[in-house]
Structures are given as C-alpha cells and as structure tokens.
Structure 1
Amino acid sequence: MLQRFIELGEGYSDLYELMEIARSNHHRIHHLVRLNTTINNRKMTSLVVVLKPMEPGNYMPLYICREGIPQPEWKENQRFSLFKSLADELNHDIFQLEVKPSDIFNEKQLYYQYLIGVLRLNHFIPELKF
C-alpha cells in the first residue's frame, strides 16, 4: 500500500481546502490527526486528514497543513476551532501525537517518511504490505 503525504499550505485558504477534502470524502475518512511540535520555542500543530485507501490502487493519501497552526492550549486560534468543528460535524475524533519538527530534517521527504513511521507505530495507518 502506498501512503503519501500531500502538503497544503499554512493559511486559511489551505485549511478550507483541507476541510473541503474531508467533507467531500467523508465516507473515506480513516482518521483526523493533530501532530504537535515545538519550533523556535513556539508550540505548533499540523492538521492531517487521513483517507482510507482507494480501490483499486491501494493508495492512502494523508493531506496535511504542516506546522502552521499554534497549538490551541498555547494560543487560542480560529484555524484549530474550524478543524474541531469539522471533526464534530463529521462525527470523528481528532487524535494527537507529539512529533519532531520538520526543520531538523535535511529534506521534507525524510520528514514525511518519519511521520509515516510514527503513524504506523501508533496504528493510525496500516503497516506496509507488499
């Protein structure tokens, strides 16, 4: 199964796109995930919509708004409130994990490989199958 991150941006329009992806694919939602990290002493969050694999094809997309949203416990913000409202609307929980920041990786692709490993180890996405 191919599992790949699809990165959107950090702004409101990107969050609205992430939310629209979730709404239009509500029947395929596997998990809604919040990845917490600290960057330059700022507590930030990445929001992820994990969709179930397509059939045929075995492709599992993970749409992400990476590290652009302050953690709501650190700084209340409208972007996280919108995502929380989406989770309530779609009757899904938001799962949380603490992860390393992307800026410690030399390449963004290495960061995404790390996240896939973390999500697999915590059983948020299925293990690799050949």
Structure 2
Amino acid sequence: MGEGIDVKPGFAAAVPGKLRAAAHARQAALLALDLAALERLLDDTLRYTHSNGVCENKQTYLSALRAGAYRYHIIDESEVEVCDLGGGLWCCGRVLMHVTVRGVERRLDNRFVAVWRRTPEGLRLAAYCATPVPGVQ
C-alpha cells in the first residue's frame, strides 16, 4: 500500500478465514482504488448505505469511486461479530475511517453491518450499512 494507507485487521481468529480474506481484499481494493478487484468482490445485488443515509447499488457505487467521489485513506475495523446464515454471512462491528468525500476530508467512527453472499466464485458483498457512533462524529 502507499504512504498514509493503513489496513488494520480487526477480525478475531474466530472469524472464518474466507470472510476475513474477502473483507481484507475489499479494504485493500478501496484503499488502492482497485476497481477491477472491487468489481469481483461486490455482488451484483449490492446495496451500499453510507453513514449519511445515501444508498447506492453496485454500478452507482463503482461509478462514484471511478469519478473520485470517495477516496479512502484508512479503514480500521474492530469489534467484529459474525453469524453464518448458510447462504452467506453477516458481520457487524465498528469501523474508523479517514476518507475524502467529494473533496472534503472526513474522519468517521461508525458501526457497520455487512452481508456477504456465498457464490460459486467465492464470497461477494451484497449489503453494507454504516451508522455513526452517537456523540463521536
């Protein structure tokens, strides 16, 4: 990764290895702005809800990244819990992020829920929702 970019795994040993790998690959792709890798990691049914309430699908999210609307600098997940749903997994936890949103630098402290769908090609992120931690923003 480049200077000022930090991926800190917050996943405990109990988190399934494939989920840990997929989540870290998504973080690395976001930090490196590797849209080809994100294309493979995001499910076609993706619904990505940002902490400000804006909801995007896979194509609008990738288009916004391509246009420079979001530039992730640090993603630090912790307090991660996981539940196996059979056809997928959900995980929730806390994420600290340093991100530039439409030219404005933001430091975010959010709770998140992520749903990963099992596919023949591997885990794909199907839903992500972030909510600000009260009194921290």
TM-score, L = length of structure 1? 0.30
More helix by share: 1
More strand by share: 2
TM-score, L = length of structure 2? 0.29
> Structure with the greater relative contact order (CA < 8 A, sep ≥ 6): 1 or 2?
1
